[in-house]
Chain A
Amino acid sequence: MNRSNKYLKTFAITYLIFLYAPALLLPIFSFNSSQIIAFPLSGFTTGWFKALLYQETLHEALRNSLIVAASSSIFATILGILASRAASRYYFPGKQFSLTFILAPLVLPEIIVGVSLLIVLIQLGLPLNLWSVVLGHTLLIMPFSILIMNSAFNNLDISLEEASLDLGETPLGTFRRIILPLVYPGIMASLLLGFTLSLDEFIIAFFLTGTETTLPVYIWSLFRFPKQLPATMALGTILIFVSLILLSLGEYFRRRAAKTQTSVL
């Protein structure tokens, strides 16, 4: 037992290093004063971060990314709420089939999703702009939203809704006063996770974006200019921390959702 435990421990540590070491290089080089990304480090600077403040195109890309991330996470969450509500309360033919199918974007390669969406949009004669990216990202995030909202709704005891109706509240009032407050942690978790996924997404955004680029697409374009590389590292550092914060918040809400609902019983 001790022996296998030791191997398991070694494996886990190696795995974590493999996973996070490259990401740790970002903050290290973003504070390095040399333009060349290589060891040994030459000196400490915060200049690359300051440089970010003066890049108009970066601000543009950031603004675009925020719009896309906010819109697509909201759309996906609304769709997720509706789908899981239907799945948990109503019976209709082909329910299991459609529930399985609706999660398909989870396993489809993003490049396939991106290319096929591009073809569809062009065939329909629709312009490529931020909203086409929002469409793609909504599609990408929706399975995650559905999974999160499904667990929130499945844990919701139906007799609470019945009790509310029984006490004279309308169906709409019941949704507002009982259902929403009880699935609210799930909604927050879905919004935060969706926001993070969209903010980091590159492939679909690359295919569907028109002249307005999102942040990851903008970063990718920067690689043509080696001089910009340290500033890109600085930007990456900021993005890593923002993502981590959003994910931890999302996880906090997801756990809170699980907690409030187990205590119902």
Chain B
Amino acid sequence: MGKLVQVKNVFKSFGDVHAVNGVSLDIQEGQFYSLLGPSGCGKTTLLRLIAGFEKPTSGQVFIDNTSMDGIEPNLRPTNMVFQNYAIFPHLNVEENVAYGLRNKREKRSDQNKLVDEALELVGLSGLNKRSANALSGGQKQRVALARALILKPKVLLLDEPLSALDKKLREQMQSELRHLQRAVGITFILVTHDQYEALTMSDRVAVMFDGKVAQEASPRDLYELPNSQKVASFIGEMTFIKGEIVSENKNLQVQSEIFGKINIEKSRVFGQSSKKMVLGIRPEKIAIVPKTSRSKDLISGKIIDVSYFGETTNYKVSCGTTETLTISSQNSVGQLSYSVGEEIQLKADMNNIIAFSI
């Protein structure tokens, strides 16, 4: 496994708009790689730069150690699944899937076999003659996948392929895509604005803001060790508390109103350490404990807001300071529920606190 796609210091401007603003990425062969970010962060432009639909203002894209400078989209070893699927409306399923084979000079009988295999791969066997206009959104998506995969590209590019589907189908397609990627072993690059989609499907994720990569990591690291407040609050939820550095040696000792004096490992400190820091903790790393429990690091507070999500309940808790904590509690067997105004005790997992410089 080596680096298959390399993006080297790529900039792309449209007039005054700097869509991609100095991005460098290495994508390993066989990876499921996601470009995650809010709309307008440049992720789609980056994907289109890899596909060849856009030319970088400066910088280079390499695929398989070959520079893609001046290589048109039709000659690149990439295929794309478009956001709106771009199924050719005047062709049927079979003709759509076989579209790219025309230039590969395959024999007619081989072509038919390849089309059947591709349709089977995406679960559309037998729909060969179905008209493109008679397909549902999910089926169009599958045709788009088959049409791209039949050409055995080195890289499959997916531009928000699931955003037009309803929630149930989207979740089903997420797991199918993941299985498909493992089955064919092709490198997938997925563009998405949905953080859960990126986390569940990818081997690696690059989070982009304002044309730059803010963090590039595995899904677990991205969630557990976000390197900035912006990444932390884009991926899931995080509560931020003001703190001040008391001492700094092997660990960082930080004083805050709610947590008191705590030690934070250097590996969990991001940015320049200055006197003032921000402490971050995920809502599920805080638990509500029985009132009878006695321990020195318990935090007492009062519930000021309850949001019920079915499998979880989120509580906003005031701890006698200006700041509030958000707690996410699984509604599993035996879990008590609390209501607004109740006095409770909390236990925070201090090992999971992250410190950010302001």
List the B residue with the shortest CB-CB distance to A167: B100
A residues less than 8 Å from B88 (CB atoms): 160, 163-164, 178
A residues less than 8 Å from B103 (CB atoms): 168-170, 173
Quick one: given A157-B84, A263-B133, A265-B84, are A166 and B78 in contact (CB under 8 Å)?
yes
A residues less than 8 Å from B269 (CB atoms): none
Residue A181 CB within 8 A of the other chain: yes
Q: Is the CB of B73 within 8 A of A165?
A: yes
Q: Is the CB of A159 within 8 A of B82?
A: yes
How many residue pairs, one in A and one in B, have C-beta atoms under 8 Å apart? 67
**From A163, A169, A177, A264, contact of B80 by CB (8 A):** A163
SS of A interface (majority): helix
Quick one: given A166-B51, A169-B103, are A159 and B72 in contact (CB under 8 Å)?
no
By CB atoms of chain B within 10 A, which of A162, A166, A170 has the most?
Answer: A166
B16 to chain A, nearest CB (A): 15
Q: Is the CB of B100 within 8 A of A160?
A: no
Q: How large is the interface on B (under 10, 10 to 19, 20 to 34, 35 or more residues)?
A: 20 to 34
Residue A260 CB within 8 A of the other chain: yes
Residue A62 CB within 8 A of the other chain: no
By CB atoms of chain B within 10 A, which of A157, A162, A163 has the most?
Answer: A163
**From B53, B82, B90, B104, contact of A168 by CB (8 A):** B104
B residues less than 8 Å from A58 (CB atoms): none
B residues less than 8 Å from A177 (CB atoms): 99
Residue B74 CB within 8 A of the other chain: yes
Q: Mark A251-265, 1 if CB is under 8 A from B, else 0.
A: 000000000110111
Q: Is the CB of A170 within 8 A of B89?
A: no
Q: How far is the CA of A165 from the CA of B53 in the complex (A)?
A: 9
List the A residue with the shortest CB-CB distance to B48: A162
**From A162, A169, A173, A182, contact of B86 by CB (8 A):** A162
Q: Is the CB of B86 within 8 A of A163?
A: yes
B residues less than 8 Å from A265 (CB atoms): 84
B335 to chain A, nearest CB (A): 47
Give the residues from 71 to 94 in chain B that come closer than 8 angstroms, CB to CB, to chain A.
72-75, 78-80, 82-84, 86, 88-90
Q: Is the CB of B73 within 8 A of A166?
A: yes
Q: How far is the CA of A177 from the CA of B80 in the complex (A)?
A: 19
Q: How far is the CA of A162 from the CA of B78 in the complex (A)?
A: 12
Q: How far is the CA of A173 from the CA of B147 in the complex (A)?
A: 17
Q: Is the CB of B90 within 8 A of A260?
A: yes
Q: How far is the CA of A162 from the CA of B293 in the complex (A)?
A: 64
Q: Is the CB of B147 within 8 A of A167?
A: yes
B residues less than 8 Å from A263 (CB atoms): 89, 133
Q: Mark A16-31, 1 if CB is under 8 A from B, else 0.
A: 0000000000000000
List the B residue with the shortest CB-CB distance to A181: B90
Q: How far is the CA of A159 from the CA of B79 in the complex (A)?
A: 13
Quick one: given A165-B72, A169-B100, A169-B103, are A159 and B89 in contact (CB under 8 Å)?
no
B62 to chain A, nearest CB (A): 19
B residues less than 8 Å from A166 (CB atoms): 51, 53, 73-74, 78-80, 148
List the A residue with the shortest CB-CB distance to B90: A181
Q: Is the CB of B51 within 8 A of A169?
A: no
Q: How far is the CA of A73 from the CA of B24 in the complex (A)?
A: 54
Residue B299 CB within 8 A of the other chain: no
B residues less than 8 Å from A168 (CB atoms): 74-75, 100, 103-104, 151
Q: Is the CB of B89 within 8 A of A169?
A: no
A residues less than 8 Å from B73 (CB atoms): 162, 165-166
Seen from chain A, the residues whose Cβ lies within 8 Å of a Cβ on chain B are 157, 159-160, 162-171, 173, 177-178, 181-182, 260-261, 263-265
Q: Which 5 A-B pairs have the closest CB atoms?
A: A167-B100, A163-B86, A159-B86, A165-B73, A264-B89
Known: A159-B83, A162-B80, A168-B75. 10 other contacts (CB 8 A): A159-B82, A160-B86, A163-B80, A167-B74, A167-B148, A169-B103, A171-B74, A181-B90, A182-B90, A265-B84
